[in-house]
Amino acid sequence: MRSIRLAMVAVLLPCAVLGQVDEATRALARDIFRELIQINTTDSAGDNTAAAKAMAKRFLDAGFAPGDVQVLVPEGRATKGNLVVRMRGAAGSGRKPILLLGHLDVVEARREDWTTDPFEFVEKDGYFYGRGTEDMKDYVAVMVTTLLRFRREGFVPSRDVILALTSDEEGGTANGVDWLLKKHRGLVEAEFVLNGDAGGVTTENGKAIDVGVAAAEKLYADYQLTVTNPGGHSSRPTPENAIYRLAAALGRLERAPFPLELNPVTRGYFAKVAAHETARNAADMKALLGNPPDAGAVARLSEDARYNSLLHTTCVATRLNAGHANNALPQTAQAVVNCRILPGHSPEEIRGELVKRVGDAKVAVRYVDGATNTVMERAPGQAGLAPAMPTAEVMQALERVADTLWPGAGVVPNMETGASDSKYTLAAGMPSFGVGEIAIERNDDRSHGKDERIRVSSFYEAVDFFGRFLGSLTGK
C-alpha cells in the first residue's frame, strides 16, 4: 500500500532546484521502470519470480557477484519469488547493513476498466501510466537504479546495503518479507530498514507541502463475531434472535471507542502540523499535547477520520452475514470487525477488549488470520515494536536532501495507519522507516485504482533524491 497523504494548508514555496541526475542514469531508471511495469505481477495471473529474475539479471550484468544476487522462491510457489541483493560495503566498518525494502507485486487491474493497457508502460502528457507506477514499481526502479549507479561510479558504501524485492505485499498467501525473515534471516538482517512503500512527498499545485516519513505503523487485525441460535419458524418469533443480539453487540462496540493514546511519533507529528493548520485545529493540537490532554480538544480532533485514526486504536464493522431464509429465524449471525491497533498492543489484547465491550457471552469473538484465512479462538499475543522516531542519522540525511529538493516543505515523521511490509520487519525488531519520497499531487493518489500514474518529473526527482539520501547514509 501507499501511505495516506496528509492534507495541510498550502504554503507557497520557491521552485525546487533542478535535479542532478545524468542522462545515462535517467535512461537506465526509465528502462528498469518500463520493464517492471510490463511484467504482470498480480496475485491472480502474474509472475513475481519473472520480475525478480529480470532485476537479478541487471545486477549480474553490472558485475555483482552471483553469490550476492539471489532469487529465492518458496517451495511449491513457483511464481512467488523474491530477490535479495547485497552490495558489499567497505571492510571493517563494524556496522550492520541497511536493508532497502520494496514489493514487486501489484494490485489486480482489468483492461476494460482502464484507458490504457495496465501492463503497458505508457508515457503521456507528462505522466507514466501503468499498474504499479505509483505502488510501487516506481520506487523499486528508483532503488535498483541507485545501486547500479553506485556500482557504475565505483562507489563502495561505508557498510553493506541489502535490497529485498518481494512478493505478496498487496495480498496473496506468500508474503516475501515474512518468508525471508523466517527462512533466510541472515540474508536480510540489518540495523534498520528503509521501506520505499511508505512515506511520500505531497504537492499542491505542483509545490511540495510536506515530506512524510513513516516511523511507526498500526497493526492490522480482523475479528469475527458470531451468534448462533436453534432458529425456527419466523411466524413464531422468540426473544432470542441471533441478528438482534449481534446488532446490539455491534452497537455497544460503536459506542465504546478506544482511549486516546499518543506516542513520540504522533506527538511530534501533531506538534509539526499545527503550524500549517486552521487556528481552531492548531489550538486543539496544542491542547492535545498538554498534560493532561484537553478532553474537548481530543473529542473535536477525533471527529476528523484522519486524526482519529492517529489518536486511537480503531475497530469498525466491515462485513455482515446472517440468516438462511426470509421465513426462518436466523440460526447464525456473523460480522467481521476490522481493527487498526496502536503500537505496543497485541491482537489478543484487543480481542479481550472487544469481548469486554461486547459484554455478551453468547457473542463469540474470534480472530481471523488473514494469511491463511482461518478463524482462531485466540489472536497472536505479540505486540508491534514500540514507535521510535527515526534516528538522528536518518533524520539529518533526510532533512538535508529534502531541503535541497523540496525547500521549505519540512520532513514530518508520521505513523502509518494502514499497513506495509514494515509490520514484519518491525515485529522482527528492526526499526523501519517509510522513505518512498516521490512527489504526488494531493488529490491525485491513484494507487490501487484505475489509470494509475506518476508524474515523469517526480520519478526522476525521486531517482535524484534516493541517490543523495542513500549516498549520504553510506559515506558518498
Q: Which parts of this chain interact with Zn ion (CB under 5 A)?
A: 1, 135-136, 197
Q: Least CB distance from residue 13 to Zn ion, whole Å?
A: 28
Q: How many CB atoms lie within 10 A of CB 35?
A: 18
Contact present, 384 and 184 (Cβ < 8 Å)? no
Q: Least CB distance from residue 194 to Zn ion, whole Å?
A: 14
Of the two residues 168 and 197, which places its CB atom closer to Zn ion in the complex?
Answer: 197
Contacts of residue 41, Cβ cutoff 8 Å, sequence gap at least 6 = 47, 48, 50, 51, 104, 105, 106, 132, 167
Contact present, 322 and 333 (Cβ < 8 Å)? yes
Q: Least CB distance from residue 104 to Zn ion, whole Å?
A: 10
Of the two residues 222 and 421, which places its CB atom closer to Zn ion in the complex?
Answer: 421
- Return phi, psi of residue 320, to 5°: -145, 140
Q: Least CB distance from residue 123 to Zn ion, whole Å?
A: 22
Looking at the DSSP assignment, which residues form a beta bridge with residue 366?
224
Of the two residues 1 and 250, which places its CB atom closer to Zn ion in the complex?
Answer: 1
State the cell numbers at 427: 515485529
Find the DSSP H helices in 226-294.
242-254, 264-273, 279-288
Q: Cα–Cα–Cα angle for 176, 181, 182, nearest 5°? A: 100
Q: Least CB distance from residue 189 to Zn ion, whole Å?
A: 23
Of the two residues 137 and 357, which places its CB atom closer to Zn ion in the complex?
Answer: 137
Q: Least CB distance from residue 196 to Zn ion, whole Å?
A: 9
Of the two residues 101 and 250, which places its CB atom closer to Zn ion in the complex?
Answer: 101
CA 88 – CA 72 distance, rounded (Å): 19
Of the two residues 1 and 181, which places its CB atom closer to Zn ion in the complex?
Answer: 1
CA 276 – CA 264 distance, rounded (Å): 20
Looking at the DSSP assignment, which residues form a beta bridge with residue 374?
369
